[in-house]
Amino acid sequence: MRDSLFELAPVTEPQRQYYFIENAASLIKLREAELLHPMTFHVTTFGCQMNAKDSEKMTGILTEMGLREVGDEYGADIVLYNTCTIRDNANQKFYGHLGTLNGKSHRNSDRIVAVCGCMMQEPDCVEKLKKSYGFVNIIFGTHNIYKLAELICRHLTGESHVIDIWDKPEEIVEDIPTVRKYPFKSGVNIMYGCNNYCTYCIVPYVRGNERSRDAGEIIKECEKLASEGVKEVMLLGQNVNSYGNGIEGSLSFPELLKEVEKVEGIERIRFMTSHPKDLSDELIQVMKASNKICRHIHLPLQSGSTRILKAMNRRYTKEQYLELAAKIRSELPDVAITTDIIVGFPGETTEDIDDTIDVIRKVRYDGAFTFIYSPRTGTPAASMDGRQSKEWIKAEFDRVLNAVQEESKAMAVRFMGNTESVLVEDVNEQDESLMTGRMSNNLMVHFPGEHSLIGKIVNVKLTECKGFYYMGEMV
């Protein structure tokens, strides 16, 4: 059976994967007959929106195979971890989950454990799994997540340990089953990989160089999503501003946005993430003229020091960043600007942190993700000298965090009393009489309402600012 299963498989994608999904479903039924219960699965996702989108695809594949998703990873028959390696704490969280899973193996000794994502593109991590976590059955990376059903077939037909890691990406395969977390909003991958090679970042090494999807395929996906009731799409890429670069005849990112705007049924468009060196005047003007593109730009700073920015290979100066931010604020006065900041980069001094805080005060961020530098093996920064003590880094991190919180709290107040368009996302976790939604500028608002409002866009008057979110009432 095994030989014929793989010999008869189509060569072209995604037909090959639909073939394996169908055969995996049959193999799952046979296994269920042995186990005497329906098989379940659980997916745990670490990391960014790209990983979350990948997990939705793998959830779709597993669901299509006839498995039922459950909330308890330790009781599931198939446990899948989609890993992130951007910082060491993400790695440690993953190993913590694996250790706990192994400790509770008595609850389901026949489970299948699969691990994928960015960590698996690092040979040291794979070797650690093989040596210390032998109960992991399937290991694959970032470039072939669409092959999940095929890998499960390999395991169910006799391979106790399946390892399928690609050094570099091959074709882009998108047309596979997907189960979205929210039926009314969805991420849309427009490109993969990154060409920037910031000295602290592992992403280009684990996700490969930039590969832009065909614009026509992106528009088709958006049209399909709209037909399924999706109102908001988020265009995803490590650096969306460089979409289409180097591809003859390709649309630029602002041109792509204008095409997505034309899709009937899509009412909101977001994008993530922008690199400052590539954010064009054309993009600002497209946003200014649009009624659909949300008033939010995530513009990673990383450091306010030109000297540190050069060491990071960010390819802009403090002054250039400030000029760009001022232009955005001038042309889009209602826009929310959020950012990423790293503290403790090798060679960083108090004066460099002063520069970062100066940028925070001048840009007046609406929010920021602030991180302590985490060395990533294989990146240039990992071998740089000049790391400060943990005590110094903690003190400077607190200084930066306080500055961010002060500015973002002050910026949030400017919308007080406005009536804003809100996409209702869920029931409030603390109070079931309240609904929780997100404004165009990405701020959250909580207001009294019925559960039937979930997935709808409604007008809400902002009545009370709570610092980083609002209370309101529907009008």
- Token code pair at residue 37: 């219960």
- Token code pair at residue 330: 């001038």
Range(s) within the chain of domains with CATH label 3.80.30.20: 187-413
Range(s) within the chain of domains with CATH label 2.40.50.140: 416-474
Q: What is the pLDDT of residue 2?
A: 73
Question: What's the CATH fold of domain 416-474?
Answer: OB fold (Dihydrolipoamide Acetyltransferase, E2P) (2.40.50)
Q: What is the pLDDT of residue 106?
A: 60
Instruction: Report CA-CA distances (Å) from 417 to 64, 294, 295, 409, 475.
Output: 47, 20, 18, 16, 12
Q: Which residues contact 72 (CB under 8 A, 6 or more apart)?
A: 42
The CATH label, of 3.40.50.720, 3.40.50.300, 3.40.190.10, 3.40.50.12160, for the domain at 2-164 is 3.40.50.12160
What percent of the chain has pLDDT above 70? 99
- pLDDT tens per residue, range 173-188: 888 999 998 999 999 9
Q: What is the pLDDT of residue 168?
A: 84
pLDDT of 124 over the 90 cut: yes
**What is the rounded radius of gyration, in angstroms, for the C-alpha atoms of the chain?**
23
Range(s) within the chain of domains with CATH label 3.40.50.12160: 2-164
Q: Which CATH superfamily is domain 187-413 in?
A: tm_1862 like domain (3.80.30.20)
d(Cα 34, Cα 217) in Å, to the nearest integer? 42
pLDDT average, residue stretch 267-276: 96
- pLDDT tens per residue, range 446-468: 999 999 999 999 999 999 999 88
